[in-house]
Structure 1
Amino acid sequence: MATPVKVYGPPMSTAVSRVLACLLEKDVPFQLINISMAKGEHKKPDFLKLQPFGQVPAFQDESTTLFESRAICRYITEKHQNQGNKGLYGTDLLAKASIDQWLEAEGQSFNPPSSTLVFQLAFAPRMKIKQDEGLIKQNEAKLAKVLDVYEKRLGESRYLAGDEFSLADLSHLPNTQYLVNGTDRGETITSRKNVGRWWSEISTRESWKKVVEMQNPAPPRSA
Structure 2
Amino acid sequence: MVDVWLEVEAHQLHPAAGAIVMQYLITPLIGGEQDQAIVDENASKLRAMFEIYEARLSWSRYLADDIVSAADLSHFPLMRYFMATEYAAMVEALPHVRAWCEDLAAWPAARKVAEVMPLDFGLSKKDEK
Is the TM-score greater than 0.5? Answer: yes
Q: CA deviation at 1:148?
A: 0.6
Is 1:164 matched with 2:67?
yes
Q: What stretches of structure 1 of length at least 5 have no aligned partner?
A: 1-97, 218-223
Is 1:195 matched with 2:105?
no
SS of structure 2 residue aligned to 1:140: helix
Q: Please give the alpha-carbon distance, in whole angstroms, between the structure 2 residues aligned to 1:121 and 1:175.
A: 13
Match for 2:110 among 192, 197, 208? Answer: 208
Match for 2:40 among 107, 120, 137? Answer: 137
Q: Which runs of 4+ in 1 moved over 3 A?
A: none
Is 1:149 matched with 2:52?
yes
Point out the structure with max Rg over C-alpha: 1
Match for 2:77 among 165, 174, 192? Answer: 174
Is 1:185 matched with 2:87?
yes
Query: With CA pairs under 8 Å and 6+ residues apart, which has the higher RCO, 1 or 2?
Result: 2
User: Which residues in structure 2 correspond to 1:30-179 (within 5 Å)?
Assistant: 98-179=1-82
Q: Please give the alpha-carbon distance, in whole angstroms, between the structure 2 residues aligned to 1:215 and 1:137.
A: 26
Count of residue pairs brought into register by the alignment: 119
Q: CA deviation at 1:215?
A: 2.6
Structure (1 or 2) with the greater helix fraction: 2
Q: CA deviation at 1:214?
A: 2.0
Q: Counterpart of 2:30 in structure 1: which amino acid?
A: M
Q: What stretches of structure 2 of length at least 5 have no aligned partner?
A: 123-129
TM-score between the two structures when normalised by the length of structure 1 = 0.52
Structure (1 or 2) with the greater strand fraction: 1
The percentage of counterpart residues that share the same residue type is 32
